[in-house]
Amino acid sequence: MSDPFLVQRIHMVRTQIEARNIVDPLVLQSMREVPRHFFVPDSIIHEAYQDNPLPISNGQTISQPYIVALMAEAARVIPGDNVLEIGAGCGYAAAVLSRIATKVVTIEIIPELSDFAQRNLAKAGIDNVEVVTSDGSVGYPQAAPFDVIIVTAAAPTLPPSLVAQLNINGRLIIPVRKDAFSERLMRVTKLSPDEIQEEYLEAVRFVPLRGKEGFN
């Protein structure tokens, strides 16, 4: 089937993702396949493959393609994984993760955006993502434990509920607030039921995580 955006998408992966040293072949292939233009408002469809975040609605954004790739690679997502994403927004990152993992649950606190994500995922023909409307700062115990948890909003501190819902060897990727202007992307790996490893990755900028274990 012809896809008018295919050339732009292949170019996006080469110049924005591979050029910045993302090498995970599963992540690169998924981003070559997922139609990012299905996940932005129609009025800005021609900007879908640009090297920046874009406004969606309710004051929220679709993440920059590179950030989606960076988080997916940092999480070391593999086939068979049970993934939780906090902050569905338009559903794009969930779509990218769904092409690699077996099952993705994505949580969104703003009902209009859950609906938007649900519609976009359906348009893209993706059927292994469950969109849930709730406060994701406390995770999703119903479907825990998770091999991977990715939080796409900045937390004030590491939410204990999310750490608790990780499998052994599970990875939590989360931006944690450093000061008023920036966050650091963290990878938390659960080594045993009561032991975690914390690594600091790059400096990033995200909208705040609301809710009980977020900024309230």
Residue 90 has which token pair? Answer: 């338009």
**Minimum CB distance to ligand SAH smaller for 1 or for 99:** 99
List the catalytic residues: 63
| 147 and 163 Cβ atoms separated by less than 8 Å | no
The least CB distance from residue 63 to ligand SAH, in Å, is: 4
| Edge-to-edge strand ranges of the sheet holding 195-204 | 129-133, 103-108, 82-86, 146-151, 166-179, 182-192, 195-204
* DSSP labels, 152-168: -SBBSS--HHHHHTEEE
Q: Does 211 bind ligand SAH (CB under 6 A)?
A: yes
Pair type for strands 103-108 and 82-86: parallel
Closest residue by Cα to residue 88 from 110, 108, 104, 103: 108
Stretch that binds ligand SAH, among 60-68, 168-176, 179-187, 193-201 (CB under 6 A): 60-68
Binding mask 74-103 for ligand SAH (x = CB under 6 A): ------------xxxxx-xx----------
Contact track, ligand SAH, 110-149, x by CB under 6 A: x--x---------------------xxx------------
Binding site for ligand SAH (CB under 6 A): 60-63, 86-90, 92-93, 107-110, 113, 135-137, 152-153, 207, 209-211, 214
